[in-house]
């Protein structure tokens, strides 16, 4: 006769061993959505290089408004900074919203969520695995665009230091650690987007609602950030410090806004992730 355990669990069952991390990674990598995102992240820098090559060089000179576009083609480092400049406000937002917002809602839409829980995979473990995979894929997508931009930019424009729009130059070696700091800041700053999308994902069975709702809120926040009448209230908006990484291009680096951005991002992220787990723990999963 088989021995019955006190927990009534099947012999050999371990809750922590269900839905392994790499199994979920393989599941997500097998989706066309994931492949499409990484393809777009790799192609975008090439498209920008092609646009600069096809454009009129006389139109690329200094303009009346100093910005990163003016020096985008002076070196690979400058090109990477330009890519950050044009993707921070919207493109990267969509990528993080897609990976985080598609986690639970897509399973519910397909009708597979209840079967995962009946496997049985503990609810909190399932949510933690999906959160970890969404974070890893989002960071990998960001690193993809950085590495492709660096490689393609080096071939197209050479490996030199950074020429800032205000005339200050940063050696390539020094710029490497500054670039790493910028990437790290973008990851933390975009956690707001990921946390919001993740929370909406556990509240709805429609991935489009989670992703679209997140993007809509970010757009509204960005618009409100341009309203001067709000004064200091704008600093509470989740998108207010999106471009604080530009402070890394000054001498010495101006990290004041970056520290404020990191602080607010972590506060928003912790609250939203906690709400997501609290909501999912009590959710009646019927799909």
Q: pTM of the predicted model, to two decimals? A: 0.86
pLDDT attached to residue 69:
73
pLDDT attached to residue 140:
96
pLDDT attached to residue 119:
57
Three-class HEC string of 180-225: HHHHHHHHHHCHHHHHHHHHHHHHCCCHHHHHHHHHHHHHHHHHHC
Q: Which residues fall within 8 angstroms of residue 12, CB to CB, at 6 or more apart?
A: none
Give the span between the Cα atoms of 269 and 113, in whole angstroms.
Answer: 24
pLDDT attached to residue 62:
47
Burial class (CB in 10 A: 0-12, 13-18, 19+), 126: buried
Give the span between the Cα atoms of 197 and 102, in whole angstroms.
Answer: 8
pLDDT attached to residue 10:
53
Cβ(280)–Cβ(104) below 8 Å? yes
Q: What is the pLDDT along the chain (287 residues), one digit of tens a residue?
A: 344 444 445 555 565 556 677 877 888 888 888 899 999 999 999 999 998 888 654 555 544 334 667 778 888 898 999 999 999 989 999 999 999 998 887 776 665 665 566 556 677 888 888 899 999 999 999 999 999 999 999 999 988 888 776 667 888 888 899 999 999 999 999 999 999 999 999 888 888 899 999 999 999 999 999 898 988 899 899 999 999 998 888 888 888 999 999 999 999 999 999 999 998 887 656 55
pLDDT attached to residue 183:
96
Tokens, residue 169? 């130059």
Cβ(210)–Cβ(200) below 8 Å? yes
Cβ(45)–Cβ(83) below 8 Å? yes
Give the span between the Cα atoms of 164 and 72, in whole angstroms.
Answer: 9
């Amino acid at each position: 006769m088989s021995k019955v355990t006190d927990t009534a669990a099947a012999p050999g069952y371990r809750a922590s061993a269900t839905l392994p991390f790499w199994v979920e990674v393989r599941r997500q990598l097998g989706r066309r959505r994931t492949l499409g995102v990484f393809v777009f992240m790799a192609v975008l820098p090439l498209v920008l290089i092609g646009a600069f090559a096809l454009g009129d060089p006389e139109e690329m000179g200094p303009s009346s408004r100093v910005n990163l576009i003016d020096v985008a083609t002076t070196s690979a480092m400058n090109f990477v900074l330009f890519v950050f400049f044009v993707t921070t406000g919207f493109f990267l937002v969509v990528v993080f919203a897609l990976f985080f917002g598609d986690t639970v809602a897509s399973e519910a839409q397909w009708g597979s969520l209840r079967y995962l829980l009946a496997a049985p995979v503990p609810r909190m473990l399932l949510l933690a695995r999906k959160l970890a995979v969404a974070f890893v894929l989002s960071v990998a997508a960001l690193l993809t665009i950085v590495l492709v931009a660096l490689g393609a930019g080096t071939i197209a424009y050479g490996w030199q230091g950074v020429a800032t729009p205000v005339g200050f130059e940063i050696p390539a070696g020094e710029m490497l650690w500054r670039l790493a700091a910028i990437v790290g800041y973008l990851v933390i700053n975009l956690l707001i987007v990921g946390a919001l999308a993740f929370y909406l994902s556990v509240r709805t069975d429609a991935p489009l609602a989670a992703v679209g709702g997140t993007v809509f809120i970010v757009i509204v926040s960005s618009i409100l950030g341009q309203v001067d009448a709000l004064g200091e209230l704008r600093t509470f908006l989740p998108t207010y410090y999106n471009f604080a990484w530009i402070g890394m291009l000054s001498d010495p680096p101006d990290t004041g806004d970056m520290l404020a951005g990191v602080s607010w991002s972590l506060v928003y992220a912790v609250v939203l992730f906690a709400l997501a787990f609290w909501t999912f723990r009590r959710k009646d999963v019927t799909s």
